[in-house]
Structure 1
Amino acid sequence: MLLPEDIFQIFLYITTASFLRYFILAGLAYLIWYIWLKKRASYKKIQLKFPKTTDYQREIAYSLLTFFIFGLVGMVLYNPTIRPYTLTYYKISDYGWSYFILSFFLTLIIHDTYFYWMHRLMHHPKLFKYFHKVHHQSTNPSPWTSFSFQPLEGLVEAGIFVIFAFVLPLHPLMIVIFLFFMTAYNVYGHLGWELLPKGANKHWLWKWLNTSVLHNQHHHYFKNNYGLYFSFWDRILRTLDERYDEEFEELKARSISKV
């Protein structure tokens, strides 16, 4: 995958690709859970109420603004003047398949660490209203919430791509794989339903994942649970919500008769 040389075309390419990923993945999740399975699975929704139509409209509008910002950052990073100074490589043979596969896990670990710390910072009372307030207007998140950021947060979120460009050698195909995974996991985190099975919160492996319940708590209570893909920073630094296990297990034990 090669980006065009014209800077406006680069901006258009990145922005359009972001729009499409969002609308395909968030739209598919919305169609399945908020339309097709709404009546049959509503008793398993993490927060039983549904967002208002105005919430969806606000989230989509701010998400479009976020992708505009992503496009601008991408245009700066990958224009013909700066691109040669990045660590992006175009032949898998340059680093081999082993590194290509390893680089996927490195992107997740680096992104999760970056996200945890900048997320905690944006919750500082002096910064919150300028960076993170819009995202937290969605106290009951939906798939459309996943990229609903005000401009300053959108710029901070895009900072991970600057880090990748100058710190981690990545093949364009891996960048595409990462972007799809990042979008899909963001949609899952804001889905409003928990897809992992009963007991996953205490499983030796799955407990280290940032689940939909875990991130839903963050939107509901406005604190704790700052990770993106994993929970290890929250567990190590004791910012995991103490109600997490109880609420995860209550949700998985919930039946229609109990609602």
Structure 2
Amino acid sequence: MDHVLSFADFYVFTPYVYPASWQEEGASRQIVSLFLLTNLGALLLYLVFGALSFYYVFDHRLTKHPQFVKNQVSQEIHLATTSIFWMSFPTVMLFFWEVRGHSKLYDGIKQTVMGWSEVLASIVGFLFFTDMCIYWIHRCMHHRSIYKYLHKQHHLFKIPTPFASHAFHPLDGFLQSLPYHIYPFIFPLHKAVYLSLFVFVNIWTISIHDGDYRISGPFIHLINGAAHHVDHHLFFNYNYGQYFTLWDRLGGSYRHPSVLQGNGPHDHIRKIATETARKK
């Protein structure tokens, strides 16, 4: 985040926002700046990519599903924007520690031992590390002693739209995002890669809620997509993974997508339409 902060300082904050007496390296100024940037960045990612996905990817026939909630989209957006605001407080402190140099983030390829191969390995490591951690955090959120207090809010939406992607209780959302933030405190990671992965993670989270259940054949058993994740919303104790199906398979919680078994949301809608037509 230090590159983003430096860019914002140079072009916006220093010339137009802060008084000259408030130095760029000051802790209080950095925290305030990171709070503004984190909220603005997260909201833009959520609203822009959520809207693009909702209007150009999401199948609006799904709104006819009997479990689609009245005024669902507005509820999803309200919960998500509120959550993003409250989540930003602990997130900013993690970003602040990164900016202060307490992480293992680095600037250039010359700082690596193996060059680009190390950068590529760190991307793979990031994906598998965060997928593993999120699986177990997510699964813990379904424990009966926790679920009703935190994760239940997200499961109000049985047929989610892209706007449900960030619609969590703030603590739930932060805990599930924590693996992304702690990775660079444990493992070396290029700063540009970290920022790119942060954007990717947000877009991916939107994509598994986008209602597009088409899956390329070779990847159906490997990639956790929207077809897998809608079954998590509908059937509760399955498909906790974020990117891959690996941990669901190892943890005994994998469910083959119902949309590929003739029992998905669209099939349910067609069944209701057929029954309605017969009654007429």
**Normalized against structure 2, the TM-score is what?**
0.77
Q: What displacement does 1:239 show?
A: 0.8
- After the TM superposition, which residues 15-164 of structure 1 pair with which residues of structure 2 at under 5 Å, given as runs? 15-34=39-58, 38=60, 42=61, 48=65, 51-52=68-69, 54-79=71-96, 83-95=100-112, 96-164=115-183
Any stretches of 5+ residues in structure 2 without a counterpart?
A: 7-24, 274-280
Amino acid at match of 1:120: R
Which is worse superposed, 232-241 or 143-152?
Answer: 232-241
Secondary structure of residue in 2 paired with 1:78: helix
Percentage of identical aligned residues:
26
Secondary structure of residue in 2 paired with 1:3: helix
Which is worse superposed, 102-111 or 210-219?
Answer: 102-111
**Normalized against structure 1, the TM-score is what?**
0.83
Q: Partners in 2 of 1:73 and 1:209 — Cα distance? A: 30
Q: Partners in 2 of 1:238 and 1:46 — Cα distance? A: 31
Q: CA RMSD in A?
A: 2.8
Q: Partners in 1 of 2:67 and 2:148 — Cα distance? A: 25
Number of matched pairs: 244
Is 2:91–2:174's contact at 8 Å kept on the other side of the alignment? no
Match of 1:231 among 214, 231, 245: 245
Q: Partners in 1 of 2:108 and 2:119 — Cα distance? A: 10
Q: Deviations over 1:177-215 (max 9, x none)?
A: 212221222112111221324xx2xx3x44111121111
Partner of 1:247: 259
Q: Partners in 1 of 2:160 and 2:57 — Cα distance? A: 13
The question of 1:3 aligning with 2:15 is answered no
Q: What displacement does 1:74 show?
A: 3.2
